[in-house]
Amino acid sequence: MTTPKLCVDSVSKSYVIDGRPVQVLEDIDLAVWPGELVTLLGPSASGKSTLFNIIVGLEEPDEGTIRLDADIAHKRVGRVAYMPQKDLLLPWRTVLDNVILGPEIAGTAREEAVRRARELIPLFGLEGFENSYPSALSGGMRQRAALLRTFLFQKDVLLLDEPFGALDALTRMELQEWLLRVWDQFKHTILFITHDVDEAIFLSDRVYVMTPRPGRIRDVVTIGLDRPRRRAMENTSGFTQRRERLLSILRGDAT
């Protein structure tokens, strides 16, 4: 059996808020295998984004470890690519200059970074907008630009924190389908945060379901639907059964 690309082992985290400790995460265990698309599903304020901050090295756990390719990763900053909830495009930089930010920080020559970006811009639906500024882009195009910037970090593991949460329903569905096509082409390992049950089912190989704060892993559900995923699947009994299963777990009716 292959080694997981990412393992979270018994991670807990608390903060002191208004002079008292608040437990945010408690004994979190999860694993993501090479080439998987795994979703972390849970209610708001269940600690999902905090867990991402720990995985990427922006914060340290009170207890537990993060392993990348089976090795305990004490220094994690820069080892995985991370897209937070907001696109965080720099308003004074063009689309092209925004998406090459990661390679530039990593020391890649600008010419090489631009060459790679121009190769991928058509795939990301940004052709013709390379010299536009973020203010000229729709919400969906801003998210595509942010995702291209994340891809250009050229890391095997991508963490995507509710990248489509602020979009309208039609744009969200379009970008879900597009993300699956890009993922199928590049075979990245993706850990994806959402609180939308249908999104989790449509995208994922497996879904980790979290409890409300303090966040724990309540259950893990293998989706098992055929790929490539099609919208028509949402009307099938298999999709409905998985939806009911996940909603039951979120409510605490099932274990």
State residue 104's pLDDT score.
87
State residue 8's pLDDT score.
97
Establish if 1 belongs to a structural domain: no
Q: Structure tokens of 198?
A: 């249908």
Strand-pair category, 20-32 with 157-161: unpaired
Residues 110 and 224 in one domain: no
Residues 171 and 95 in one domain: no
Q: Structure tokens of 66?
A: 């993060």
Instruction: Domain of residue 143: give its range.
Output: 89-154
Residues 162 and 234 in one domain: yes
**How would you class 149 by CB atoms within 10 Å of its CB: exposed for 0-12, middle for 13-18, buried for 19 or more?**
buried
Among residues 101, 135, 154, the one where a domain terminates is 154
Among residues 154, 188, 206, the one where a domain terminates is 154
Among residues 154, 173, 193, the one where a domain terminates is 154
Query: How many Cβ atoms are within 10 Å of 120's Cβ, its own excluded?
Result: 15
Establish if 112 belongs to a structural domain: yes
State residue 85's pLDDT score.
84
Residues 99 and 177 in one domain: no
Q: Tell whether omega for the bond before 214 is within 30 degrees of 0, i.e. cis.
A: yes
Question: What is the number of H-type helices and E-type strands within the chain?
Answer: 8, 10
Residues 177 and 193 in one domain: yes
Q: What DSSP state is assigned to residue 215?
A: B
pTM of the model: 0.93
Number of domains the chain contains: 2
SS3 at position 198? helix
Residues of the chain with pLDDT under 70: 1, 254-255
Token pair 């082409």 is found at 185
The CATH number covering residue 219 comes to 3.40.50.300
Residue type, 151: F
Tens digits of per-residue pLDDT, 196-243? 999 999 999 999 999 999 999 999 999 999 999 999 999 999 999 999
Residues 131 and 243 in one domain: no
Contact between residue 171 and residue 20 where contact means Cβ atoms under 8 Å apart: no
Residues 118 and 180 in one domain: no
Residues 35 and 161 in one domain: yes
Query: How many Cβ atoms are within 10 Å of 124's Cβ, its own excluded?
Result: 22
β-pair partners for 40: 193, 208
Residues 44 and 170 in one domain: yes
**How would you class 235 by CB atoms within 10 Å of its CB: exposed for 0-12, middle for 13-18, buried for 19 or more?**
exposed
State residue 254's pLDDT score.
55
Residues 103 and 127 in one domain: yes
